[in-house]
Amino acid sequence: MALKTRITQLLGIEHPIVQGGMMWVGRAELAAAVSNAGGLGILTALTQPTPDDLRREIDRCRAMTDRPFGVNLTILPSVTPPPYAEYRRAIIDSGVTIVETAGHKPQAHVDDFKGHGITVLHKCTAVRHALSAERMGVDIISIDGFECAGHPGEDDIPGLILIPAAADKVTIPMLASGGIGDGRGLAAALALGAEGINMGTRFCATVEAPIHERVKQFIIDNDERDTNLIFRKFHNTGRVARNGVSDQVVEISAQADAVFEDIRALVSGAKGRDALETGNLEAGLIWAGQIQGLIHDIPTCADLLARIVDEAETIISGRLASFLQPALVEGG
């Protein structure tokens, strides 16, 4: 038996499992491993310092897998934004066929990608945003619940509500994101109306994830309570793993007169990269979701995907089916 959905058909993958874009983590080693395991691996464009570096990373990934993989391009409002159009051109020129977009006003990027025949997944944290992205012309919605790592939006709606609420209104295929890391999550996502899952934190704790082993063990040692919500005061909420740095950010932000400049140095991306690469768990922010509480090992991507799919199939065909009892025929 195999799990076949509109997601697997549209993306040309074996399993309805996507590795989401993650800053400093979405490199060729991980993306290729996920794709080789039958899912969809995704490179993170802005992890590469320049568009030419992204071209080289795409070539490197292509040398490691002959299966489909994608590239994430996250558009964030900034006083000095990166050259998004140049990154977009690097993706198109490199012959990438699948792109994950996220963030602020992606219409121009989506139009260009679609004009070149590229399949576009767009990450959303609210039903209204999903409907807007559908009107924009994207092919797949990735709906991100409040449990997720990264930016869960400002509505605080968990996946158990958000996924079916979106499924009731969105007509294109949908991935469920946030708080998913095993076969139970995949089976639940399919039951709630999604046709696949998008995982981030779970893929950080794999053999192929290009981050320090101490960070992987940190994720395993944490439980579902070990996250902090930061930037709430600035209406750009982010969920990160709880460490001394994120505790300090929360403490400073709680002060009535706090401004972003008070925490800027603590939350810099360079410091987060240092934490991931050196294993110094107090060097900076480590982005992770509540799914930490369900992560207990560091498998290869191949073992992880096989386990998730096997567990989901067993739940769907076994445990759930066992609850269905033949109806008693009156008078029989």
CA distance 47 to 56: 12
Q: Residue 185 has which token pair?
A: 């999550």
Q: What is the pLDDT of residue 94?
A: 98
Instruction: Give 113's Cβ-side CA count (13 Å radius).
Output: 30
pLDDT band at 89 (very low <50, low <70, confident <90, very high): very high
Instruction: Please say whether the structural domain 6-208+300-318 has been given the CATH code 1.10.1200.120.
Output: no
Note the Cα 293 to chain centre separation in Å. 17
Structure confidence by residue, pLDDT tens digits, 22-34 = 999 999 999 999 9
pLDDT band at 329 (very low <50, low <70, confident <90, very high): low
Q: Are strands 174-177 and 140-144 parallel, antiparallel or unpaired?
A: parallel
Structure confidence by residue, pLDDT tens digits, 167-223 = 999 999 999 999 999 999 999 999 999 999 999 999 999 999 999 999 999 999 999
Lateral strand order in the sheet of 69-75: 17-19, 197-199, 174-177, 140-144, 119-124, 98-103, 69-75, 41-44
What are the start and end residues of each CATH 3.20.20.70 domain in the chain? 6-208+300-318
Residue 153 falls in which region: left (phi positive, over 0), alpha (psi -120 to 50) or beta:
left
Q: Is the pLDDT of residue 332 over 60?
A: no
The neighbour count for residue 27, using CB atoms within 10 Å, is 21
CA distance 295 to 209: 14
Amino acid at 209: A
Amino acid at 129: H
Quick one: average pLDDT of 104-108? Answer: 90
Of residues 181, 171, 154, 71, the one with CA closest to residue 119? 71
CA distance 249 to 264: 9
Q: What is the pLDDT of residue 80?
A: 86
Helical (H) or strand (E) element with 143: strand 140-144
Q: What is the pLDDT of residue 77?
A: 76
Q: Which residues of 149-172 are buried (b: 16+ CB within 10 A; e: fewer)?
A: bbbbbeeebebeebbebbbeebeb
Structure confidence by residue, pLDDT tens digits, 132-154 = 999 999 999 999 999 999 999 99
Task: Using alpha carbons only, give the angle 5, 119, 109 rounded to the nearest 5 degrees.
Answer: 145
Note whether 287 and 241 are within 8 A (CB): yes
Q: Is the pLDDT of residue 266 over 70?
A: yes
Q: What is the pLDDT of residue 326?
A: 79
Q: What is the pLDDT of residue 325?
A: 82
Q: What is the pLDDT of residue 328?
A: 66
pLDDT band at 51 (very low <50, low <70, confident <90, very high): very high
Q: Measure CA of the first residue to CA of the last residue in the chain; give whole Å.
A: 35
Amino acid at 56: R
Q: What is the pLDDT of residue 1?
A: 64
Say what the pTM is.
0.95
Quick one: average pLDDT of 91-110? Answer: 95
Q: Is the pLDDT of residue 314 over 70?
A: yes
Q: Is the pLDDT of residue 63 over 80?
A: yes
